[in-house]
Chain A
Amino acid sequence: MVVALGSFGILFACLLFMYAALRSQAVAWPPPGLPELPLFLPLVNTGVIAGSSAMFVLALDALEGGRRSRAVGFIASTFALGCVFVGLQLLLWSRLADAGITMRTGALGTVVYVLTALHALHVVGGILALAYWLAFGLRDVLASAIGGAVRGGSRGGLAAHSTMLRLCGMYWHFVGVVWVVMFVTMFLL
């Protein structure tokens, strides 16, 4: 997983390098005639994704402490915040388009759209994984609530998959960190 994340990381690093290179060659930034990029939405989104990472940390803590339903609750909030992030990102794109920045409007549009879209794609991947574990956890909790064993019981409960969950978490934090770097370089600076 570390290796895989390293590879993803390099992909994004290259894209950011392109951004830096294009920006350093531009006469003015943002290019003349285009508005400043909005700051508010991305800022909120940074909070959202940081929060969701925190939720996942809590989920793993709870699981370690043997409090399974709490853990499932936290996974659910991670998942929900992830969805909010994608939603806000869609909103951001529509705002940008309204302001006249599209993929075809020169270097600015080029980098902003490609980077955020690629990132969003990775977030969606994470959300799918979270959804899977959420469903898994819910079934686990429900099954023990009604006293029966989990169907397909040989696979064990949520706790038996803590390694997979940890890896899932690593990925999720990674996606979060990438966003923070993108936020700082593209929207803040």
Chain B
Amino acid sequence: MSSVMTKADVEAAQHLQHAHVEPKDFLRRYVFSIDHKYIAKQFLWAGLIFLLVGGILAMLIRWQWAFPMKPVPGVGKMLFPHTGGVITPPAYNSIFTMHGLIMIFFAITPIMIGCFGNFCIPLMIGARDMAFPRLNMYSFWVFLLSQMLVTASFFVELGAAAAGWTTYPPLSTNVGTPGLGQSLVVLALFVTGIASIMGAINYITTVIRFRAPGMTWMRMPATVWGLWLTSILNALFVPVLGSAGLMLLFDRHFGTQFFVTGAAGGIGDPILFQHLFWIFGHPEVYILILPIWGFVIDFMSFFARKPAYWYKGSVFAMIAVTVLSAVVYGHHMFVTGMSPLLGQAFMLLTLVISVPAEVLFLNWLHTMWKGSIRLTVPMLFALGTVFVFGLGGLTGIYLGTISTDLYLHDTMWVVGHFHLTMASAAFLGSFAALYFWFPKMFGRQMNQKLGNVHFWFSAIGVTAVFCGQLLAGYNGQQRRLYDPFQYTYIAHLRGLNQLTSYFAFALMLGQLAFIVNFFHAIFAGKKAEKNAWDVGTLEWTHCDSPPVYHNFDDIPTVLRGPHEYNHPEVLEKLGKDWIGQAERMPGETGEVIVAAAE
């Protein structure tokens, strides 16, 4: 259990990261901060606000599907004054488009990657800050710019983007969606992509260069692995979306003809956009799930008080998914008339990529098996994540198989599927992380009871809502319909849709418990302990809650992995069921202590 570190190694690590001095003036400290912990909070706020906006848009969609042509109660008159509160077809198109885009790019991404990437990576690998703190700051401000572009798009003539989150041409060209809003949103995607790439460069470099002495790759917490692999996918595939968006903008404003064709008089090819979109789009869904997998691997071990089962296997599974995610995108395009041979290849690869996911799943179950499980709020949310992700994963098999996908494509089944896998898992997983690291971030505790209420509303809510969508899709309800019940063959699904909507409203209502809890805890919560959960990762063992500006007075020397729980020798010698990654056993050697020089 010990490692040999030379004194030179340790000194090299200390030298690489001299401690920055905390700035005194207001602007540098609270606005243009270069402190990764502060930037993390900025991303958190920006993301939470847009999560609320995205949630309200979702409620409007659900209202429309439950009670089409009826005025929206409350806010309706304000939002749709000309119709007395009834959602119009163009407004509806905008609503579901902006819901998807906002949730993915402007809510979940900043919270999960922007906030927790920033907060966790340096603290968990024992670094004093990111490799490029200034780039980190720019990343946030560029991101904020993209959020402002999105906000602006709601207020221009003809409204915000309305071509679906997938933005397929010809619908998304000037012919289909002439308004300025569509362009603004595509531009916002490009800008947010730049922010993502800046962040990715930073995260990748930081993990490679700034690990504390002794923090080998296989001793890194799974959280860091997940965030790191996500950054690699970001750096590789966001530029693909960037190029597609750029070409679309050129088509819309400079008369080029990349995607314009047919009656619109061009020789471009709209299907090419789909290729580019999904070459990015499929990795994107793994961008959104890899950090969550990381959290879950860690939390399962932390709260089952057992070592993570086959940790290496989980890491390799994540690496395998990262690689494979690049070669399965064709499963989104089975119905575009691709060659059957190509379709078969994509089908095979798609089924292959589900194997690593199953490895992870079994490892989680195995970790919990016979553990002494502590049902804390983060653990509840992590369990919920595992549940919805498993459910969603199963529904994906039917979509990955061509014969069944021909029927299910573009139905609500797809919507149910990706909401369970990506949306619900990311939603619950992000909250697991937020409840877990909140004490470290803000130095205060959140209320456990309110957390439980929030959990049950959220977990039951997402399961019911998205299973309702699966059912509707299985019965043939197409997605994105303004008024599904005008088609006689699905008119009988009105009751199902209404029930689903009631669950959605309850889900939204349950978020109040979080909002109350969050603000109450920030301003009046009990002071958090240094190690709030009795776990062994560096941010809990070596940093105060909240950590000091430069994180670590001395950069710790890491001696073991992050998942050492209920080790018999530790129990006997230290009398507790966990040991820190940099904590010495009595008599353990191999450690060099060097005081911070600067």
Contacts and interface: CB of A to CB of B under 8 A. Distances in A.
Interface of A: 3-4, 6-8, 10-11, 14-15, 18, 21-22, 25-26, 31, 103-104, 106-107, 109-111, 113-114, 118
Contacts of B235: 3, 6-7
B47 interface: no
The 10 closest A-B pairs by CB, nearest first: A14-B243, A104-B255, A110-B256, A10-B239, A11-B239, A7-B239, A3-B201, A11-B243, A3-B235, A110-B257
A26 B256 CA distance: 16
B247 interface: yes
A178 to B, nearest CB: 13
B130 interface: no
B258 A7 contact: no
Nearest to B234: A7
Contacts of B200: 3
Given A21-B269, A104-B256, 11 more contacts: A6-B236, A7-B235, A10-B240, A10-B243, A14-B240, A22-B267, A103-B250, A104-B254, A107-B257, A107-B267, A110-B258
B250 A7 contact: no
B308 to A, nearest CB: 29
Interface string B264-275: 001111001000
Contacts of A21: 269, 272
Nearest to B279: A14
Contacts of A114: 246-247, 250, 256, 258
B257 A106 contact: yes
Nearest to A12: B243
A48 B214 CA distance: 49
Interface of B: 197, 200-201, 204-205, 235-240, 242-244, 246-247, 250, 254-258, 266-269, 272, 276
A22 B272 CA distance: 9
A22 B268 contact: yes
A18 B272 contact: yes
Nearest to A10: B239
Contacts of A10: 236-237, 239-240, 243
A14 B244 contact: yes
A118 B245 CA distance: 14
Nearest to A114: B250
Nearest to B271: A21
Contacts, number: 77
A103 B257 CA distance: 9
B236 A110 contact: no
Given A3-B235, A6-B236, A18-B258, A26 B267 contact: yes
Contacts of A104: 254-257
B239 A113 contact: no
B204 A107 contact: no
A7 B197 CA distance: 8
25 contacts: A3-B204, A4-B197, A6-B235, A7-B197, A7-B236, A10-B239, A10-B243, A11-B240, A14-B240, A14-B243, A18-B247, A22-B258, A22-B267, A22-B269, A26-B267, A31-B267, A104-B254, A104-B255, A104-B256, A107-B257, A107-B267, A110-B250, A111-B258, A114-B246, A114-B256
A110 B246 CA distance: 12
Contacts of B256: 103-104, 109-110, 113-114
Contact of B239 (A14, A22, A111): A14
Nearest to B266: A106
Nearest to B196: A7
Contacts of A22: 258, 267-269, 272
The residue in A8, A107, A109 that gathers the most chain B C-beta atoms within 10 A of its C-beta is A107
Contacts of B266: 106-107
Contact of B238 (A7, A31, A111): A7
A11 B242 contact: yes
A40 to B, nearest CB: 26
A3 B207 CA distance: 13
A135 to B, nearest CB: 21
A109 B255 CA distance: 10
Contacts of A11: 239-240, 242-243
Contacts of B269: 21-22, 25
Given A3-B235, A11-B243, A103 B255 contact: yes
A104 B204 CA distance: 41
